[in-house]
Amino acid sequence: MSIPFPRAAALAAALSLPCLAAAAPLSFDAALRLAVQRSEAARAARAGVLSATEASRAAAQLPDPTLRVGIDNLPATGPDRFNTTRDSMTMKRIGISQEWLSADKRAARQAAADASVGREAVQARVAAADARLQAALAYLDAFYAGETLKLATLMEHHAHEELEASRTRLSSASGSSQDVLALAGARGISEDETAEIRQQQNTARVAFERWVGMPPGELAPPDVIPLPSEQDYVAGHPAVAAMQRDVDVASRAADVTASNRKPNWTWEVSYGQRTGYADMVSVGVSIPLAVAPGERQDRDTASRWALVDKAEADLAEATRAATAEYRSLSGDAQRLQQRIDRYRSGVVVPAAQRTAAALAAYQSSQGSLVVLFEARHAEVEAQRKLLTLQRDLAKTRIQLAFRPLTAEVAQ
C-alpha cells in the first residue's frame, strides 16, 4: 500500500526525531535535571512530603464526636421483662459526646505537624541534591575517561606509525632489528593500555546511564562552578539541615506532650424518651483526674525533652563533621590546583619540548625511532597524569559545590 507524500514526510520526520535527539550532545545541566527527575529516592521523598502535608491538615482538628445510643432501666425479670414500653422508668436514650481540646493544645499539635512537613521537605531536597551530586560525578568520570581514551588512541597511532617506519628502515639496511622489536613491544603495550582505558570508559558510561537514563555522547567539560563559603557549606550540608529539622520536630513533640498535663474534657448531651411520662434531656462533662502527674505526665514530658537534647547533640556533631569535611575538601582543591600548575610547567611543557627535540633529531638522522617513541610516550603519559589531576580537582570542586542544599535544589 502506498503512503501519501505528506503523511510519509510526517512519518519520516517523526522517526528521525529520536535519532536527532540521541545524537544531540547532553549538557552538564541537562544531565543533572534528568538525574533528579529519574531518581526514585527523590520521588519517595516527595511522597513523604505529600504524606506529611496531608497529615498536618488534620492535626489541629477536634476528634470526631461520638454517637451514643442506649436503653436505661430495662426490666430484666418479671412480667415486663425486656419490654421497653410498660415500665415508666425505662427510657430510650440517644446522645452525642465530644472530646474538647484547648486552643493551645491544637496549636501545639499543628506546630508539631508543620515541623514534620519541614523535615520531609528537607529530606526531599537532600535526595535531589544527592542525585545531582552523583550525576555530576558520573558525568566527570565519563568525560575524563573519554579524554584519556583519546590520548591512549593517539599513543597507539604513534606506535603503529613508528613500527612501520622502523620496518621500512630495517628493509633499507638503515635501521636495526632491535629497534623493530622494541617498537613492536611498545605497540602491544599501547594497544593493551587502550583496551584497558576502553574498559574503564565503559564502566563510567554505565554509571552515567544509571543516573541519567541514556548513554553519554560527546560530553563537553562543565563550566567552572563557584564554590560556597565555609558557613554556607556547613549550613546547607544535608546532615546539618536534617538534624536541624530533627531538633525542631523533637521540640514540638515535647510541647505536645507537655500540654497533655492538662486533661481533655469531654461533654455529652443525650435525649431520653419514656412511655407515658415526659422525655428527659441529660447534659454531662467528663474530666480525667491526673492523680499522679509527677509519675506519668511529667515523666513523659521529661522523656521528650531528653530526645530534644539528643537531637541537639547530634546537630552539634553533624556541624563539626561538616566543618571538617569542608576544610578537607577545600584544602584538597587548593593543593590539587597547585599540583596542576606545578606539573604543567615542570613536566608537561618539558615533555613536549623533549618530543620536539627527538623528532628534530630523528628527521636529521641523528636520533633513533626508539628515542622518539620514548619521548612521545613520556609526553602522553605526562598529559594523562595531568588529566588525572584535573579530574580529581573537578570532582573535589563538584563535591564542594553540590553536596550542600543550594537554591538549584527543588524546594
* pLDDT recorded at residue 48: 93
What does each C-alpha distance from 267 to 263, 283, 287, 291 come to in angstroms? Answer: 13, 8, 9, 21
Residue with cell 635501521: 175
CA 190 – CA 194 distance, rounded (Å): 6
CA 208 – CA 202 distance, rounded (Å): 10
DSSP structure string for 343-365: HIIIIIHHHHHHHHHHHHHHHTT
- What backbone torsions phi and psi does residue 98 show, to the nearest 5 degrees? -140, 125
C-alpha cell at 45: 521523598
* pLDDT recorded at residue 170: 54
C-alpha cell at 404: 550542600
CA 364 – CA 291 distance, rounded (Å): 107
C-alpha cell at 368: 633513533
Instruction: Sort residue 267 into left (φ over 0), alpha (ψ -120 to 50) or beta.
Output: beta
* pLDDT recorded at residue 68: 93
- What backbone torsions phi and psi does residue 152 show, to the nearest 5 degrees? -65, -40
pTM of the model: 0.78
Q: How many Cβ atoms sit within 10 Å of the Cβ of residue 74?
A: 16
**Rounded to the nearest 5 degrees, what angle is found at the Cα of 175, between the Cα atoms of 173 and 181?**
125
CA 234 – CA 405 distance, rounded (Å): 10
What does each C-alpha distance from 273 to 93, 98, 135, 282 come to in angstroms? Answer: 6, 22, 73, 11
Instruction: Sort residue 98 into left (φ over 0), alpha (ψ -120 to 50) or beta.
Output: beta
Q: Which fold has domain 29-80+103-267+294-402?
A: Outer membrane efflux proteins (OEP) (1.20.1600)
Nearest to 223 by CA among 374, 56, 28: 28
Q: How many Cβ atoms sit within 10 Å of the Cβ of residue 71?
A: 13
- Direct distance between the N- and C-terminal alpha carbons of the chain, in angstroms, rounded to an integer: 54
What is the identity of the amino acid at 329? L
* pLDDT recorded at residue 180: 63
Half-sphere exposure of 52 toward its Cβ, with a 13 Å CA cutoff?
Answer: 22
Strands (E), 61-204: 66-72, 91-100
* pLDDT recorded at residue 132: 92
Instruction: Provide the residue-wise pLDDT of the chain in tens; the chain has 411 residues.
Output: 344 434 333 333 333 434 434 445 678 888 888 899 988 999 999 999 999 999 999 888 888 999 999 998 888 888 888 888 888 888 999 999 999 988 899 999 999 999 999 999 999 999 999 999 999 999 999 999 888 888 888 877 776 766 666 666 555 555 556 656 666 766 777 777 778 888 888 888 888 888 888 887 778 777 778 899 999 999 999 999 999 999 999 999 999 999 988 889 999 999 998 888 888 999 999 998 888 888 888 899 999 999 999 999 999 999 999 999 999 999 999 999 999 999 999 999 999 999 899 889 988 878 776 787 788 888 888 998 999 999 999 999 999 999 998 776 654
Q: Percent helix, strand and coil across the chain, each rounded to 5? A: 70, 10, 25
Nearest to 262 by CA among 222, 231, 290: 290
* pLDDT recorded at residue 115: 94
Q: How many Cβ atoms sit within 10 Å of the Cβ of residue 128?
A: 24
Where do the structural domains in the chain lie, given as residue ranges?
29-80+103-267+294-402
CA 401 – CA 388 distance, rounded (Å): 20
**Rounded to the nearest 5 degrees, what angle is found at the Cα of 14, between the Cα atoms of 11 and 18?**
145
C-alpha cell at 385: 597524569
* pLDDT recorded at residue 21: 41
DSSP structure string for 186-214: HHHHHHHHHHHHHHHHHHHHHHHHHHHSS
- CB within 8 Å of 86: residues ≥ 6 apart: 75, 80, 275
* pLDDT recorded at residue 283: 94
* pLDDT recorded at residue 9: 38
